[in-house]
Amino acid sequence: MEILDGRALSSEIKARCKEDVAKLKERGITPGLAVILVGDDPASHTYVAMKEKSCKEVGIYSIVHKMPEDISQDKILETIEMMNQNPNIDGILLQLPLPEHINTQKLLSAIDPQKDVDGFHPTNVGKLVLGLDAFAPCTPLGVMELLKKYDIDPKGKDVCVVGASNIVGKPMMNLLLNANATVDICHIYTKDLAAHTRDADMVIVGVGKIGLITADMVKDGAIVIDIGINKTEDGKIVGDVAYEEVSKKCSYITPVPGGVGPMTIAMLMQNTVKSAKRRVDA
């Protein structure tokens, strides 16, 4: 069994981004990332702080628009439009989840697709489905980079994706299809989850349920990618996979923490630099 080390690869990718940023600055361009943070959700504030730290590491200009929980949707739209028009901003990130009174899809659709470094705008979603060049959501893109790093080719593999969210499951499915995998996608209404995971060459899970995938649900030698991030009652961070028992059966596995998580922020840095490079070529 080999562990897929997301921390190490994340550091490599951020180092490459730092080199690219230095070259862009020589040409008079500093990549810029704007984050919109609404409310006081502790997890969201933690994620945004981590993103700010990574921007500083690689040399990306970063600004965070912090807004109160009860802010109006129109006020957020005004900020998004301001960032759309700002020539020094290459990426706009709307930190999710948003308060219930906000129409999340309307706000995501208001972001300029050329600055949609999270890959959630309908234009980028459609391009991803068609296999065209687009910004892909950072978490599933990070999974693909991990597979590439460890020479795991999805082509021809039977892959079971557990979780069908717009943020992870659906784009994960499309990235795998574009890589010529055979994809089976499961969700909360799937009748017999184990019947789908048991025969898969690769199981990718991201639903937020501790210990969902157990050893009897994966075949010997399977590749297991755990995207889930959960906190136990004693404060320990764990994934959706029963790691100790599953790791004894699989060929590759991602740890939690230290697997897919660090890759998400690395991909955000990479997408922001990609957007800035487009500004150079415009």
CATH number reported for the structural domain that contains residue 45 in this entry = 3.40.50.10860
Domain CATH number, residue 174: 3.40.50.720
Q: Are residues 142 and 254 in the same domain?
A: yes
Residues 181 and 248 placed together within one structural domain of the fold: yes
In this structure, is residue 202 part of a structural domain? yes
The per-residue pLDDT for 42 is 84
Tokens of 225: 């990618």
Q: What is the pLDDT of residue 279?
A: 82
**Which residue range is the domain that position 55 belongs to?**
28-115
Same domain for 97 and 153: no
pLDDT at 282: 61
Query: pTM here?
Result: 0.94
Number of domains in the chain: 2
CA distances from 263 to 24, 111, 126, 142 (A): 23, 23, 23, 5
Catalytic residues: 51, 95, 118
166 and 236, same domain (yes or no): yes
In a domain, 193, yes or no: yes
- Same structural domain for residues 149 and 250? yes
Q: What is the pLDDT of residues 243-268, one digit of tens each?
A: 999 999 999 999 999 999 999 999 99
The verdict on residue 247 lying in a domain is yes
Residues 87 and 144 in one domain: no
**211 within a domain of the structure (yes/no):** yes
| The token pair that represents 185 in the structure block | 């996608």
Q: Do residues 207 and 164 lie in contact, with contact meaning Cβ atoms separated by under 8 Å?
A: no
- 161 and 72: one domain? no
Domain assignment present for 192:
yes
Do 147 and 255 fall within a single domain?
Answer: yes
**Per-residue tens of pLDDT for the chain, all 282 residues:** 899 999 999 999 999 999 999 999 999 999 999 999 999 888 888 889 999 999 999 999 999 999 999 999 999 999 999 999 999 999 999 999 999 999 999 999 999 999 999 999 999 999 999 999 999 999 999 999 999 999 999 999 999 999 999 999 999 999 999 999 999 999 999 999 999 999 999 999 999 999 999 999 999 999 999 999 888 888 899 999 999 999 999 999 999 999 999 999 999 999 999 999 988 776
Q: Would residue 64 count as lying in a domain?
A: yes
92 & 143 share domain = no
23 in a structural domain: no
64 and 147, same domain (yes or no): no
Q: What is the pLDDT of residue 110?
A: 98
Are the beta carbons of 37 and 48 closer than 8 angstroms? yes
**Same domain as 107, residue 148:** no
Radius of gyration, CA atoms only, the chain: 19
Phi-psi label, residue 204: left if phi above 0, alpha if psi -120 to 50, beta otherwise: beta
DSSP calls for 211-265: T-B-GGGS-TT-EEEE---EE-TTS-EE-SB-HHHHTTT-SEE--TTTSHHHHHH
> Can you give the pLDDT at residue 235?
84
Is residue 55 assigned to a domain?
yes
Q: Are residues 111 and 151 in the same domain?
A: no
Q: Is the dihedral of CA 11, 118, 261, 215 positive or negative?
A: negative
